[in-house]
């Protein structure tokens, strides 16, 4: 700190001395009037024909560096002689802002400054409230009623549909789904469906998928059969669907339902007595319970 203080005082004194010299030059120029020295031009100076500086400003070539200086501009913008030698001068200038190699912290007094104190932790440890360890994973899955308003084929794929699904009054999401071999396009368009909205956005066949349409899976004559989950007749777009008697936490649904939680939810989604169930509880919305196609066997999973 003492060395820094001395450097600051010397710099201030030098600046003050340079200012006095500049002021003296200006006073001499004013007193001499037209007799003041004219601008010393240089044949290599590209500005000579387009810049007309005041009479007190002149140019001079530095003998050490060959740099064409404009006086008294160099009072605040010096051209150091070290530039024609090595880069050590620049390194010293930048030392306070250069991060040391290997990620080491700069030492105090060498541009690193004083060691920062860690802010005190707020009462209670400063940790955000965490969900209870025994919270049901279904509380993290944002299930909702949606309406398929547009269906098209995904290029270079015979399995995928690209759907536009309305999931709210003014919210439409793109969903890439593997229902093409199981659900005719005409049956899917304008269909009310059960969706999950907070899975991680995925890329399928180069297309973005922002949600998932849920369906039942079963075997029929040795072949895979996939059927859409039926939603209540009076259900509205955007209606929340939850397991009966299980509500999300006070913070609501998370922005993203992690795959480990969704896998845990899927393991308990199944058809029981023709009704879509989660761990023995009905999946319901304000209009009633979601159900399965009558042809779907009891116990078939919902994915």
pLDDT at residue number 198: 94
Q: Phi first, then psi: give them for residue 49, nearest 5 degrees.
A: -90, -15
149 pLDDT above the threshold of 70: yes
Q: What is the mean pLDDT of residues 108-120?
A: 54
Q: What is the pLDDT of residues 243-292, one digit of tens each?
A: 998 887 667 889 999 999 999 999 999 999 999 999 999 999 999 999 99
pLDDT at residue number 88: 67
pLDDT at residue number 220: 81
Nearest C-alpha neighbor of 136 from the set 240, 264, 252: 264
The band of 103, judged by pLDDT with boundaries at 50, 70 and 90, is low
Q: What is the pLDDT of residues 151-193, one digit of tens each?
A: 999 998 999 999 999 999 899 999 999 999 999 999 999 999 9
pLDDT at residue number 26: 74
Distance (Å, rounded) from C-alpha 257 to C-alpha 270?
Answer: 20
Distance (Å, rounded) from C-alpha 261 to C-alpha 165?
Answer: 24
List, in sequence order, every residue forming a beta bridge with 301; answer none if it has no partner. 270
**For residue 62, with 0-12 CB atoms within 10 Å meaning exposed, 13-18 middle and 19 or more buried, which class applies?**
middle
Q: What is the mean pLDDT of residues 191-200?
A: 96
pLDDT at residue number 127: 47
Contact partners, residue 195, CB within 8 Å, separation at least 6: 143, 144, 145, 146, 165, 167, 175, 211, 212, 213, 214
Contact partners, residue 200, CB within 8 Å, separation at least 6: 256, 258, 259
Lowest mean pLDDT among 11-15, 131-135, 143-147: 131-135
33 against 183, higher pLDDT: 183
pLDDT at residue number 130: 46
Mean pLDDT of the chain: 79
* Residue with the two structure tokens 């890439």: 176
Q: Are 262 and 253 in contact (CB under 8 A)?
A: no
pLDDT at residue number 9: 77
Q: What is the mean pLDDT of residues 28-44?
A: 61
Q: Phi first, then psi: give them for residue 249, nearest 5 degrees.
A: -65, 175
Q: What is the pLDDT of residues 201-251, one digit of tens each?
A: 999 999 999 999 999 999 888 899 999 999 999 999 999 999 998 887 667
Q: What angle do CA 53, 61, 26 make, to 5 degrees?
A: 40
Q: Are 302 and 269 in contact (CB under 8 A)?
A: yes
The band of 195, judged by pLDDT with boundaries at 50, 70 and 90, is very high
Q: What is the pTM of this model?
A: 0.57
pLDDT at residue number 146: 97
Q: What is the pLDDT of residues 56-69, one digit of tens each?
A: 666 666 666 666 66
pLDDT at residue number 120: 59
Largest CA distance in the chain: 111
Distance (Å, rounded) from C-alpha 4 to C-alpha 2?
Answer: 5
202 against 80, higher pLDDT: 202
């Amino acid at each position: 700190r003492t060395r820094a203080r001395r450097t600051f005082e010397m710099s201030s004194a030098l600046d003050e001395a340079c200012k006095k010299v500049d002021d003296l030059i200006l006073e001499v120029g004013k007193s001499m009037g037209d007799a003041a020295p004219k601008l010393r031009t240089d044949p290599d100076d590209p500005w000579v024909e387009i810049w007309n500086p005041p009479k007190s400003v002149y140019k001079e070539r530095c003998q050490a560096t060959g740099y064409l200086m404009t006086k008294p501009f160099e009072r605040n913008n010096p051209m150091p002689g070290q530039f024609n030698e090595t880069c050590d001068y620049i390194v010293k200038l930048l030392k306070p802002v250069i991060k040391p190699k290997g990620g080491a912290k700069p030492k105090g007094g060498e541009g690193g400054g004083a060691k920062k104190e860690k802010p005190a932790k707020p009462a209670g440890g400063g940790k955000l409230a965490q969900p209870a360890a025994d919270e049901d994973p279904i509380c993290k899955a944002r299930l909702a009623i949606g309406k398929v308003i547009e269906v098209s084929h995904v290029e270079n794929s015979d399995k995928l549909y690209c759907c536009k699904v309305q999931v709210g009054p003014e919210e439409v999401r793109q969903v890439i789904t593997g229902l093409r071999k199981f659900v005719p396009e005409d049956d899917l368009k304008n269909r009310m469906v059960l969706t999950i909205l907070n899975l991680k956005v995925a890329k399928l066949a180069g297309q973005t998928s922002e949600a998932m349409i849920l369906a039942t899976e079963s075997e029929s004559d040795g072949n895979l059969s996939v059927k859409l989950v039926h939603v209540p007749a009076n259900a509205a777009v955007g209606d929340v669907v939850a397991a009966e008697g299980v509500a999300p936490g006070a913070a609501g649904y998370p922005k993203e339902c992690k795959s480990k939680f969704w896998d845990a939810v899927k393991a308990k989604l199944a058809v029981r007595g023709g009704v879509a169930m989660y761990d023995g509880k009905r999946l319901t919305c304000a209009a009633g319970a979601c159900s399965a196609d009558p042809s779907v066997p009891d116990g078939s999973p919902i994915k």
